[in-house]
Chains A and B, each alone.
Chain A
Amino acid sequence: MNIPLVNRDLLKRQQRNSSPRRAQDRMTIFLFLLPAFVFFLLFIIYPIIRAGYFSLFNWNGMGPATNFIGLNNYKQILTDQVFMKGVGNCLLIVVLSLAVQLPLALMLAIMVGRDLPGRAFFRTIFFMPYVISEVITAIIWISLFSPDPDRGFINALLVLIPGVQPQNFLGDMNQVMACVFIVLTWKYFGLHMLLYLAGLQNIPKEIEEAAMIDGANRWQTIRNVTIPLLGSTIRTTIQLSVLGSLTQFNLVWIMTTGGPANASEVMATYMYRYAFIRFQLGYGSAVALVMLAICLIFSVMFLRLARQPDYLGSI
């Protein structure tokens, strides 16, 4: 049983000696990694460095950047009320997503569970909004939110309730973020639910049954067995959700362009407005880098803090 078919030490020594093979391997490694590195350096790393350089200038994109202003762009961003409003709205979406969207998705995933008849059918429907583009989602919801009950379905339902006036929704400063969040939830809860469903598949049924036999009720089982075992999936969805919320652009831009009166401004719409409408490329670069810093700080902190034991891995 213990007779090795290939003596690995011998093989290694041989490989070290037989240089053609090693040289060939080294060549393969180099050539295979080359495209990935070229793409990455050229379209991700280099642009960021270059944006860092331009962020120190007051530059409108015409001709070379000559008006060096040091860190003034950053100073201006961090003192601009509108940008702060954008940060606040992003954080609001983050909090609402974590408090409402993810628990809803988790609840539905547990409800569908592993063996509910019709499981695949519901999964197909719930996940459908995720594959529809954000442009189409936004256009669908613009018409649903229309203030005119003859055009907006939601108001048509509302006016059926006696005494309720049609609402302005996307045009109302106090309602617009709630509307944006509803659309985000409609589009993205299916993704999270799908991931939870996949995570549930990996949990052996016996563990939950054992808890039930030990006298735990349904709720206790979910709380103390299922959710801890889903830990790594939940962490992934939190990361996806937070990064997505911090950098949300398409839906907000198409539905409201950040309005009315900056009420639905998010960081990305702020950046887009300065960089591509007012064409202040220096300032826009600085905004992009501030956003990047926020994302990186979150990701690094999250990876540090959330590295909990993987219960399922130890079973």
Chain B
Amino acid sequence: MATVYTLKRNTIKKKLPRFFQYLVLSFISLIILVPIVIMVFGALKTRGEMFTHPYTIPNPPDWENYAQILQTPSFWNMLGNSLITMVGSTVGVLIVCSLASFVFARMQFRGKGLAFNFLTLGLMFPITVAIMPVYLVVRQMQLIDSLLAVILVQTAFGISQNMLILRGFFTSIPMELQDASYIDGCSAFGFFWRILLPLARPSLAAIGALTMIVSWNDLLTPLILLNRDTLWTLPLGTMQFQGQYSSDLALTAAFVTISALPVIIFYLLAERQIVSGLTAGALKG
């Protein structure tokens, strides 16, 4: 009798918290999703509908707003600028960081600790703090109004974090491989190029995905380094568009939705890489 009773109590005791857990988690999911859904729905309404039924499901959906955005040449121009910048700084970060991380993970030299600490100094302050000084120097180099400047600055500020992540990954590749390749007459560069990099592909994908998102979403660097509107990236253009068309809520919503779409799709596809990059950085930092 007693055993039956405890058994029953246990299942209730087990099921009740589960139910409560799901209740809380669903509620928070709702708070996360509702703002996004309202925006996506808003973009599918005509201006009139937006006033009369602002929060209902668009019925029938009106694709006019999207069409209008996709027909503006400046949107495609911004998309292109964002892509160029993103590819540029991702390639920059991958090259610079994999070279430096290799040295720090695999080679011995005097002053190694000092050099490493110096290059991770960037973890102590975010780019916001340094953007004003950076502006002065970019101006001095006469690189204002060029995407190259944005790429270079984003690369520079990606070094500390990504180098740290990548060094962790590189260190975890067994030392025996390196010994074996050296015995076979491989140079340090040969080992790096032919053995380490192919093995480290998942980690390169992780910091690549992370850098892509950071670059794609970056507002501050383009805001300060670019004046000409033909060079604007998407975040910068989105901000200006909102200022200009703030009365046309449906059109703004369409613009915002379209510019958020690439990164959301990318996130859903590359979630594993992004998560592994972020957590590796945090747990080793």
B220 with A136: CB separation less than 8 A? no
CA distance A194 to B54 in the complex (A): 34
A39 with B278: CB separation less than 8 A? no
Q: Does residue B62 face the partner (Cβ distance < 8 Å to A)?
A: no
Q: Does residue B134 face the partner (Cβ distance < 8 Å to A)?
A: yes
Q: Mark B244-285, 1 if CB is under 8 A from A, else 0.
A: 000001001100100110011011100100110011001101
A46 with B100: CB separation less than 8 A? no
Q: Does residue B5 face the partner (Cβ distance < 8 Å to A)?
A: no
Please give, as numbers and ranges, the residues of chain B lying within 8 Å of A292 by CB-CB distance.
125, 129-130
A153 with B38: CB separation less than 8 A? yes
Q: Mark B16-37, 1 if CB is under 8 A from A, else 0.
A: 0000011011001101111110
Please give, as numbers and ranges, the residues of chain A lying within 8 Å of B84 by CB-CB distance.
none
Q: Closest B residue to A298 by CB, please name it.
A: B124
CA distance A48 to B130 in the complex (A): 7
The winner among B126, B128, B242, B264 for most chain A CB atoms within 10 A is: B128
Please give, as numbers and ranges, the residues of chain A lying within 8 Å of B69 by CB-CB distance.
none
Report the interface size for chain B: residues with CB under 8 A from the other chain. Answer: 89
Q: Does residue A3 face the partner (Cβ distance < 8 Å to B)?
A: no
Q: Does residue A26 face the partner (Cβ distance < 8 Å to B)?
A: yes
CA distance A216 to B161 in the complex (A): 39
The stretch of B73-81, B150-158, B197-205 in contact with A is B150-158
Please give, as numbers and ranges, the residues of chain B lying within 8 Å of A47 by CB-CB distance.
130, 133-134, 136-137
A6 with B179: CB separation less than 8 A? yes
Q: Does residue A169 face the partner (Cβ distance < 8 Å to B)?
A: no
B179 with A108: CB separation less than 8 A? no
Q: Select which of B137, B219, B282 is within 8 A of A195 by beta carbon.
A: B282
A199 with B132, Cβ < 8 A, contacts A32-B103, A131-B263 known: no
A288 with B130, Cβ < 8 A, contacts A39-B155, A139-B238, A139-B242 known: yes
A51 with B35: CB separation less than 8 A? no
A25 with B156: CB separation less than 8 A? no
Q: Does residue B63 face the partner (Cβ distance < 8 Å to A)?
A: no
Q: Select which of B135, B188, B268 is within 8 A of A124 by beta carbon.
A: B268
Q: Does residue A215 face the partner (Cβ distance < 8 Å to B)?
A: no
Please give, as numbers and ranges, the residues of chain B lying within 8 Å of A250 by CB-CB distance.
219-220
A284 with B282, Cβ < 8 A, contacts A40-B156, A128-B267, A186-B32 known: no
A39 with B21, Cβ < 8 A, contacts A108-B28, A133-B260, A275-B135 known: no
Q: Does residue A181 face the partner (Cβ distance < 8 Å to B)?
A: no
B133 with A48: CB separation less than 8 A? yes
Q: Does residue A144 face the partner (Cβ distance < 8 Å to B)?
A: yes
B219 with A140: CB separation less than 8 A? no
A42 with B55, Cβ < 8 A, contacts A295-B124, A295-B129 known: no
B235 with A295: CB separation less than 8 A? no
Q: Select which of B121, B126, B134, B278 is within 8 A of A247 by beta carbon.
A: B126
Q: Does residue B159 face the partner (Cβ distance < 8 Å to A)?
A: yes
Q: Closest A residue to B29 by CB, please name it.
A: A125
Please give, as numbers and ranges, the residues of chain B lying within 8 Å of A112 by CB-CB distance.
21, 25
Q: Does residue A83 face the partner (Cβ distance < 8 Å to B)?
A: no
Q: Select which of B32, B39, B51, B152 is within 8 A of A128 by beta carbon.
A: B32
Q: Does residue B68 face the partner (Cβ distance < 8 Å to A)?
A: no
A232 with B54: CB separation less than 8 A? no
A132 with B264: CB separation less than 8 A? yes
Q: Closest A residue to B31 by CB, please name it.
A: A186
Q: Select which of A35, A126, A134 is within 8 A of B219 by beta carbon.
A: A134
- Kindly provide the distance from the CB of A48 to the nearest chain B CB, expressed in whole angstroms: 5
CA distance A270 to B235 in the complex (A): 21
Please give, as numbers and ranges, the residues of chain B lying within 8 Å of A143 by CB-CB distance.
38-39, 42, 249, 253
CA distance A124 to B35 in the complex (A): 16
Please give, as numbers and ranges, the residues of chain B lying within 8 Å of A142 by CB-CB distance.
242
A122 with B129, Cβ < 8 A, contacts A281-B136, A299-B124 known: no
Please give, as numbers and ranges, the residues of chain B lying within 8 Å of A276 by CB-CB distance.
135, 224
Query: Please, could you name 6 A-B residue pairs with CB atoms under 8 Å apart, sorted by A?
Result: A6-B183, A25-B188, A128-B36, A135-B242, A156-B55, A250-B219
Starting from the known contacts A48-B133, A254-B239, 8 additional A-B residue pairs (CB-CB under 8 Å) come to A28-B103, A39-B155, A42-B156, A108-B24, A125-B33, A126-B28, A139-B238, A150-B51
